[in-house]
A and B are shown apart, each in its own frame.
Chain A
Amino acid sequence: MKKLSPRLAFVNQSECVACGSCMDVCPRGAVSVWRGSFAVVDEGLCVGCGQCAKECPASVIEIRPRLSRTAAEEKIA
């Protein structure tokens, strides 16, 4: 399996205004606006660079460790 970045962008979807600024700056094409409603991050593509968070006018993107998720998932699995 491909090695994933330790960090990942997280969008607070209920406060996202769907402007698409994040999508515009993402160097990996990892974020898109889903049906004009909110931004969605492709967790497999995101490298956690933080470009999107820097650009988001609503400041609703956070860069968080990916680890907590995989650990939680492993626990379930």
Chain B
Amino acid sequence: MSKHWYHYLWIWSVIYFALGFFNILFAWLGMISFCLPLVIAIFGGSKAFCNRYCDRGQLLRALGSQAGLSRRRDIPVWMRSKFFRYGFLIFFLAMFAQMLYATYLVYAGVTTLGEFVTLFWSVRVPWEWAYPVKVAPWAAQFAFGLYSLMLTSAILGIITMLFFKPRSWCVYCPMGTMTQLICRAKSPDTYPEQKI
């Protein structure tokens, strides 16, 4: 396995979660992880982000393949089915929309800022120390929401990395599914199928 500079991009994951631990406003940087793969897929028609430059993918590779923490079992068939992958994408987008709605409610003054991180869309974890510099409440609410989403998906990815193949999260990762859908839509299936 030859070594490339992008194999070190997992460091970005560590920096991201560490920054958000001390100041939640850094969670906004997570928008890079949402926008960059979409931009590359929409304008470049490729999954170069997944294939090389995704910090999450590299983190799971480093922990699972390099550090050998993965048990490398086959992922259950249902987890790689289109039904589950698209279903998880829809669920994830719905949760993202709910996060935006929560941000709007704070913006509109209907609710007040909740200074906590929500894991698995249900478990509230106190996080108030990470809000030392006050900004507009809605901007902080968005940061808490995005960090919750990022941390939840990272934990899910690490759990499936331990049991299944290192990058098993990439099978049902909403960004991966979405960019593949965009790429497939952009390029008609003209490549000759491999027949053996």
Tell me, in angstroms, the Cα distance from A13 to B166 when the chains sit together: 20
Interface set, chain B 159-196, CB cutoff 8 A to A: 164-171, 176-177, 179-180, 182-184, 186-187, 189, 191, 193-196
B119 at the interface (CB under 8 A from A): no
Tell me, in angstroms, the Cα distance from A11 to B74 when the chains sit together: 15
Number of A-B contacts (CB under 8 A): 111
Establish whether residues B50 and A18, one from each chain, have CB atoms under 8 Å apart when the complex forms.
yes
Establish whether residues A18 and B47, one from each chain, have CB atoms under 8 Å apart when the complex forms.
yes
Which B residues lie at the A interface, using CB under 8 A? 1-2, 41, 45-48, 50-52, 57, 61, 65, 72, 74-75, 80, 85, 164-171, 176-177, 179-180, 182-184, 186-187, 189, 191, 193-196
Contact residues in B for A40 (Cβ distance below 8 Å) = 191, 194
* Chain A interface SS verdict (over half): mixed
Contact residues in B for A66 (Cβ distance below 8 Å) = 196
Tell me, in angstroms, the Cα distance from A19 to B164 when the chains sit together: 15
Contact (A55, B65) CB under 8 Å given A34-B191, A36-B41, A37-B187: yes
Task: Bin chain A's interface residue count.
Answer: 35 or more
Chain A, residues 13-47, CB within 8 Å of chain B (1/0): the string is: 10101111101110100000111111011010000
Tell me, in angstroms, the Cα distance from A66 to B196 when the chains sit together: 7
A57 at the interface (CB under 8 A from B): yes
Contact (A21, B187) CB under 8 Å given A10-B196, A57-B165: no
Beyond A20-B47, A36-B182, A56-B165, 19 additional pairs, beta carbon < 8 A: A8-B196, A10-B194, A17-B171, A17-B177, A19-B50, A24-B52, A33-B47, A34-B191, A35-B45, A35-B183, A36-B41, A36-B180, A37-B191, A41-B194, A51-B1, A57-B169, A57-B170, A58-B75, A60-B80
